[in-house]
Amino acid sequence: MARKKNEVPVLSVVTNPPVALVEAAPRSELRLDLGSGQRTKEGFEGVDLHGDAKHRVNLWKFPWPFADNSVTEIHCSHFLEHIPSREVEERDITTSLKESERKAAVARYVGVDMLCAFMDECWRILKPDAWMTAIVPSARSNRAFQDPTHRRYFVQESFLYFNRDWRQMNGLDHGYLGKCNFGVEVPYSLPSEEGLRAPEVQSRRFHECWNVTIDWHAKLKKLL
């Protein structure tokens, strides 16, 4: 039997002991749309240097001006692929910090891969068990490479690097990969005609063919 159109496989990782990735009921608290661009997602407050963002923040400067454990939900669509492909340097530390805060920030962020520092900040400001949705182009699609300003390319497994247990299990608990700890589920979008194929055909095409996956829609839950 062919898979229904709206059924999508997911890549997931669960910590040990298992943590159920159950989405909590919505609450009227702070929800941020990071890299919101020209139009902020409805129900969220935009964070960007452009467009209609409520918070004018350079997300490539660390740390961000949001308190620990203060954000109910994060949305980030087609922004991660634009993050510079390099490690954080002293010039990337927020300049408005007090001297003691700046020294702590330098020790914390300098030398960390910039994408990992970005994800660490997301993890820091989210409340425990809160969710982040990150949408990025699939690295197996034209969509990932057509924009000359894209600096990062993602496969499903890329998001496993944001789970602490997975990093430790694979001997990858290096400082430059950051400290965040997210539960991870990564469904994806695909052309409508792909959903009409038999499951075994879909699986083969998923692994072998170009432009079968369009975007990854990663769901990341903050774990302690």
- Rg (Cα) of the chain, in Å, rounded? 18
Confidence of residue 15 (pLDDT cuts 50, 70, 90): very low
> H or E element: which one contains 164?
helix 164-169
Say whether pLDDT at 17 is over 80.
no
Q: Could you tell me the pTM of the whole model? A: 0.85
Question: What percent of the chain lies above the pLDDT cut of 90?
Answer: 76
- The yes-or-no verdict on residue 152 having pLDDT over 50 is yes
Which pLDDT score, from 0 to 100, does residue 182 have?
98
Give the burial class of 45: count Cβ atoms within 10 A of its Cβ; 0-12 exposed, 13-18 middle, 19 or more buried: middle
pLDDT for residue 86? 97
Confidence of residue 23 (pLDDT cuts 50, 70, 90): low
User: Can you list the domains of the chain with their CATH numbers?
Assistant: 11-222 (3.40.50)
Per-residue confidence (pLDDT) for residue 19, from 0 to 100: 46
Q: What average pLDDT score do residues 192-209 get?
A: 86
- Residue 157 pLDDT exceeds 70: yes
Closest CA to 67 of 79, 55, 85, 76: 55
Residue 5 has pLDDT above 50, yes or no: no
